[in-house]
Chain A
Amino acid sequence: MAILVLAEHDNASLKLDTAKVVACAQAIGGDVDVLIAGDECAAVVDAAKLLSGVRHVLVAQSAQYANGFADNVAQLILDLADDYEHILAAATSQGKDTLPRVSALLDVAQLSEVVEVVSSDTFVRPIYAGNALATVQSHDAKKVLTVRTSAFDAVSNDGAADVVIIDKVFDSVTQFVSQSLSKSERPELGAASVVVSGGRGLGNGENFAILEKLADKLGGALGASRAAVDAGFVSNDLQVGQTGKIVAPDLYIAVGISGAIQHLAGMKDSKVIVAINKDPEAPIFQIADYGLEADLFDAVPELTDLL
């Protein structure tokens, strides 16, 4: 049976998340089709065609799909669902918004944030902020999953899928009003191989500049703990944790972060964790590969200079 993957994109570019979900689909096994619901998204279609191992790229273009709202995109997926045994999306804000709606309409249970494929009906997913891993077998005829993309390596770009146009349009009752997206020259948090994160210890938003310097030197992304976001130091889309982004970079540098359960849930699968904190009792040191007990305002500039 075939697998449908909902593409993650912004009408201008295809997100790397999609290539990672395709990797999860290939681990399940079967023909993989990628659905692009959007508007004026030719560049996204071109990128999706190259994804390794993809059979068809299904393209539904309409102003109604421009913002990827859950109400009508779920209807669109439901309309295609007969041909698929698995329906997958990245566990991003869009995937989390849309797929449960699809599941309910199909009357099947969803598995969220899958990190491992055991077989075509059995999957592993974290529960309790990642403090336990549940291996769950689905008895539903169709399996709807969101995929934790940090747990899968993106497929390569050597494919040659053909394009299938879907001209059915479902209307959304959701009205788009506005959006304010953070602009950054740095790599995207979820995709970066190095993440430098700051917490309450930074004291204020201006002090994040020293982390930015370190991040730029390493070609990394900037992250933050909930405390730093709540205090208004940085915008909320930088939050790493149970309720923010889940990252697993090669190197995670936690600066001025105590290491609450909810923060660890978002970064403890990083390959190497460095903690810089002046409190030797901070829980972050228990999971750090390298810990440095020091004042971050001395240590971070010094480290930036040494690298």
Chain B
Amino acid sequence: MKVLVPVKRVVDANVKVRVNADNTDVDTANLKMAINPFCEIAVEEAVRLKEAGVVSEIVVVTVGPKAAQEQLRTAMALGADRGIHIETEEALVPLSIAKLLNAVQEKEQAQLIILGKQTIDGDNNQTGQMLAALANMPQATFASEVKVEGDCLAVTREVDGGLQSISIPLPAVVTVDLRLNVPRYAKLPNIMKAKRKPLETLAIDDLGVSLKQHQTVLKVTPPAKRKAGVMVASVAELADKLKNEAKVI
């Protein structure tokens, strides 16, 4: 079966971003960019399913600026077969991205769509669920284990109190959690080979999707700074401060 894996280009997880001077956005110029860590886990899972003989083709898709093709190439170096780039300079809300992905899915007719549970820039945790709704598919969010069992998908989910195992009929949407797998590194020969894999570029208009302006970001501000703390010299001093100064115990 065919698997569709949407991926996103984001600021590298180890970079601490700063709000820009006019409080309109975070300053992402000249920062190291990477494939969103959860998307990497999604790609890895698709590749493992292919290695297990369950999956025949992996299509990666991204919505974003021209530079996002780098992340498609990364995904292809990890094992994806081909890429689709929906090019836009605009920052779109998850619903708009889900609509574009749904248009791609209508053409591709994948049996399984695997996404990260959230991107580390917007922290929305919406796109997979929205795509499932638009495509009228069942969803298994926050997956820590995925198994294809005939026409069904057995998924273990990370829920608030522990783990939950469910089964959903295919085609379906899965969003992946951190503990699903440990993504592999791209090997140099595979990075070279990935450059020759097919990459299709589309404009939003090509997909026949009309997007709406849903919201306006009025301002972006840094979080309140915490008051500078103190280093205490001993456990006794710490206990004393907690009791008598902070009065929290």
Complex alpha-carbon distance, A112 and B230, angstroms: 34
Which of chain B's residues 67-95 have a Cβ closer than 8 Å to chain A?
A: 93-95
Pair A290/B229 contact, Cβ less than 8 Å: yes
B117 at the interface (CB under 8 A from A): yes
Give the most central of B26, B98, B120, B123: most A CB within 10 Å: B123
Complex alpha-carbon distance, A229 and B77, angstroms: 29
Which one, B1-9, B183-191, B200-208, B219-227, is touching chain A? Answer: B219-227
Which one, B44-52, B53-61, B237-245, is touching chain A? Answer: B237-245
Contacts A71-B138, A71-B139, A290-B229 given: A132-B248 contact, CB under 8 Å?
Answer: no
Contacts A132-B19, A133-B221, A173-B169 given: A230-B179 contact, CB under 8 Å?
Answer: yes
Would you give the shortest CB distance from A273 to chain B, in whole angstroms?
Answer: 7
Which of chain B's residues 113-152 have a Cβ closer than 8 Å to chain A?
A: 117-118, 120-134, 138-142, 144, 152
Which residues of the partner chain B approach A67 to less than 8 Å between Cβ atoms? 164
Question: Can you name the residue of chain B whose Cβ is closest to the Cβ of A140?
Answer: B214
Contacts A137-B216, A140-B214 given: A287-B161 contact, CB under 8 Å?
Answer: no
Pair A181/B239 contact, Cβ less than 8 Å: no
Pair B166/A306 contact, Cβ less than 8 Å: no
Which residues of the partner chain A approach B236 to less than 8 Å between Cβ atoms? 306
Pair A112/B162 contact, Cβ less than 8 Å: no
Which residues of the partner chain A approach B168 to less than 8 Å between Cβ atoms? 173-175
Pair A135/B219 contact, Cβ less than 8 Å: yes
Contact among A103, A129, A291 with B95 in the assembled complex (CB-CB below 8 Å): A103
A166 at the interface (CB under 8 A from B): no
A218 at the interface (CB under 8 A from B): yes
Pair A127/B121 contact, Cβ less than 8 Å: yes
Range for the number of chain A residues in contact with chain B: 35 or more
Contact among B130, B142, B222 with A103 in the assembled complex (CB-CB below 8 Å): B130
Residue-wise interface mask of B (208-220) relative to A, using a CB-CB cutoff of 8 A (1 in contact, 0 not):
0000111111111
Pair A92/B218 contact, Cβ less than 8 Å: no
Pair B126/A126 contact, Cβ less than 8 Å: no
Residue-wise interface mask of A (99-136) relative to B, using a CB-CB cutoff of 8 A (1 in contact, 0 not):
11111110111111100000000100011111111111
Pair A272/B138 contact, Cβ less than 8 Å: no
Complex alpha-carbon distance, A71 and B173, angstroms: 12
B30 at the interface (CB under 8 A from A): no
Which residues of the partner chain A approach B17 to less than 8 Å between Cβ atoms? 128, 131-132
Which residues of the partner chain B approach A40 to less than 8 Å between Cβ atoms? none
Would you give the shortest CB distance from B106 to chain A, in whole angstroms?
Answer: 15
Pair A218/B249 contact, Cβ less than 8 Å: yes
Contacts A96-B141, A103-B126 given: A271-B26 contact, CB under 8 Å?
Answer: no
Which residues of the partner chain B approach A108 to less than 8 Å between Cβ atoms? 95, 214
Which residues of the partner chain A approach B95 to less than 8 Å between Cβ atoms? 103-104, 107-110
A236 at the interface (CB under 8 A from B): yes
Would you give the shortest CB distance from A217 to chain B, in whole angstroms?
Answer: 9
B residues at A contact (CB < 8 Å): 11, 13-14, 16-19, 26, 93-96, 98, 117-118, 120-134, 138-142, 144, 152, 154, 157-169, 177-179, 212-223, 226-227, 229-232, 234-236, 238-239, 241-243, 246, 248-249
A residues at B contact (CB < 8 Å): 10, 67, 69-71, 74, 92-94, 96-105, 107-113, 122, 126-140, 173-182, 190, 194, 218, 226, 229-230, 235-237, 242-243, 245, 250-251, 261-262, 268, 271-274, 285, 287-294, 298-299, 302-303, 306-307
User: Can you report 22 A-B residue pairs in the complex whose CB atoms are below 8 A from each other?
Assistant: A94-B159, A96-B129, A101-B130, A107-B212, A111-B215, A127-B220, A128-B26, A132-B19, A132-B223, A136-B215, A136-B218, A137-B218, A139-B213, A175-B166, A176-B164, A176-B165, A179-B163, A190-B160, A237-B162, A272-B242, A290-B230, A307-B242
